[in-house]
Amino acid sequence: MIHARGLTRVFKVKKQAVHAVRGIDLDVEAGRLVALLGPNGAGKSTTLRMLTTLLPPTSGTATVAGHDVARDPAGVRARIGYVGQRTSAGENFRVRDELVTQGRCYGLGTRQAAARADELLGLLDLEPLAARLPGTLSGGQRRRLDIALGLIHRPDLLFLDEPSTGLDPKSRADIWQHILRLREAYGTTLVLTTHYLEEADNMAERVVIIDNGRIIADGTAEQLKNDLAGDHITITTSAEEEARRAAGIGGGDAEGTTVRLRVPNAAAALPDYLRALDGSGIKVTTAETARPTLDDVFLALTGRSITDDDIPA
Ligand SMILES: Nc1ncnc2c1ncn2[C@@H]1O[C@H](COP(=O)(O)OP(=O)(O)OP(=O)(O)O)[C@@H](O)[C@H]1O
């Protein structure tokens, strides 16, 4: 469904080059749900905008839904839907009319557009809001309308740029429920960007981590966590001197009376570690294990947290 090679975009800002995307290779098979995860400014939106033909690449190639983004942008657009960060609904038509008008814009006949609008109103739980003006909808409801607008022409592939950003936790969960539901109903390939770690972790089948314009990791959340981060063991001791010794024994870091280790399988490693500490006369007061998060993966790869603000230009 997507085949991109060396996709690159450089912006010129006051004669300075901003390397937003630095040679991305990406293949996405039909029917997949892929999350592009990365900190602010990593290049996620720019990648999406190139794949959706909204922005020409500086170099590199991409075929999307069987059409080349540079040579046949109209062919790409006819087969994809795009839900951008800003709302796409206008203010003049009521919700259902907005959908029908959008369908007509995509070349559907009036009856066909109306039938499709009704189908999407049902799928996205917008039926009770069909006669409202978009301006009167809540953030989450508006987002659902945006998704319906992106789906009106039955695209094979839907791009969503930060679909849940700016929503409260309940509306975020609700948007995800609808995204998963439409995937089940239509088998649409979904490519979305997010900087919410838990969402990428829990919802996407595949997570592509982007940093500083490059793909730095690509796989299922479980694969990435197992291969790149490892589990954590955290223990506390009664004295700082004991913590330092305990860190030495386990190969971890001590901070005050707390020691953290990274191990491939914490549940299996903990009993041996505790025995070793006991044998060295170190008194452990608490011990716990934890699975890594995608932020641990990002940290292991870049030395930074994904929520850090200081992103290189
Ligand atoms: N039109 C533009 N002109 C100049 N620089 C731009 C433009 N669009 C993006 N950039 C720069 O390119 C880099 C990547 O931006 P992009 O919006 O793709 O990141 P992002 O990962 O989507 O971030 P966010 O999560 O904040 O949307 C940033 O340094 C940004 O400032």
Ligand 1 centre to CA of 88 (Å) is: 20
Nearest CA to ligand 1 atom 4: 11
Q: At what angle do helices 139-151 and 110-123 cross, to 10 degrees?
A: 140
Inside any domain, residue 308? no
Cβ-contact 34, 191 below 8 angstroms:
yes
Residue 145 corresponds to which tokens in the numbers above? 């309308």
Inside any domain, residue 301? no
From 147, 160, 152, select the one nearest 191 (Cα to Cα). 160
Same domain, 181 and 255: no
Q: Between these two residues, 300 and 208, which has the higher pLDDT value?
A: 208
Same domain, 9 and 69: yes
pLDDT grade, residue 310 (50/70/90)? very low
Whether residue 171 has pLDDT greater than 90:
no
Taking CA atoms, 290 is separated from 223, 233, 267, in Å, by 16, 7, 9
* Strand order from edge to edge, sheet including 231-237: 253-255, 258-263, 231-237, 284-290
What average pLDDT does range 36-61 have in this prediction?
Answer: 95
Inside any domain, residue 139? yes
Mean pLDDT of the chain: 91
Percentage, residues of the chain above pLDDT 70: 97
> What pLDDT is recorded for position 86?
75
Whether residue 311 has pLDDT greater than 50:
no
Ligand 1 centre to CA of 41 (Å) is: 5
Which of 79-93, 128-142, 271-285 has the lowest average pLDDT?
79-93
Among 44, 47, 52, 197, residue to substitute to test ligand 1 (most atoms within 8 Å of Cβ):
44
Ligand 1 centre to CA of 305 (Å) is: 19
Ligand 1 centre to CA of 42 (Å) is: 7
Q: Between these two residues, 283 and 228, which has the higher pLDDT value?
A: 283
Same domain, 122 and 267: no
What is the count of structural domains for the chain?
A: 2
Same domain, 65 and 168: yes
Same domain, 208 and 245: no
Inside any domain, residue 134? yes
Ligand 1 centre to CA of 134 (Å) is: 28
CB count in 10 Å sphere of residue 198 = 12
Inside any domain, residue 183? yes
Phi/psi class of residue 159: alpha, beta or left (left: φ > 0; alpha: ψ in -120 to 50)? beta
Ligand 1 centre to CA of 20 (Å) is: 6
Same domain, 217 and 253: no
pTM of this structure: 0.84
Same domain, 108 and 124: yes
Q: Of ligand 1's atoms, which has the minimum distance to the CA of residue 9?
A: 12
Same domain, 252 and 212: no
Nearest CA to ligand 1 atom 16: 43
Same domain, 219 and 262: no
> What pLDDT is recorded for position 246?
96
> What pLDDT is recorded for position 116?
92
pLDDT grade, residue 185 (50/70/90)? confident
Among 8, 10, 16, 18, residue to substitute to test ligand 1 (most atoms within 8 Å of Cβ):
18
Same domain, 179 and 280: no
Is the CB–ligand 1 distance for residue 42 below 6 Å?
Answer: yes
Same domain, 204 and 250: no
Ligand 1 centre to CA of 147 (Å) is: 23
From 194, 96, 191, select the one nearest 152 (Cα to Cα). 96
Same domain, 221 and 257: no
- Structural domain including 285 reads 231-291
Q: What is the CATH number of the domain that holds 24?
A: 3.40.50.300
> What pLDDT is recorded for position 182?
82
> What pLDDT is recorded for position 312?
43
**297 Cα distance to chain centroid:** 14
Percentage, residues of the chain above pLDDT 90: 63
Q: What is the CATH number of the domain that holds 244?
A: 3.30.70
- Out of 197, 225, 253, a domain closes at 225
Interface ipTM: 0.96
Alpha-carbon distance of 174 to 95, in angstroms, equals: 19
Is the CB–ligand 1 distance for residue 18 below 6 Å?
Answer: yes
Inside any domain, residue 313? no
Inside any domain, residue 194? yes
Inside any domain, residue 143? yes
What 3-state DSSP class applies to 201?
A: helix
Segment 221-261, tens digit of pLDDT: 999 998 888 899 999 999 999 999 999 999 999 999 999 99
Nearest CA to ligand 1 atom 31: 41
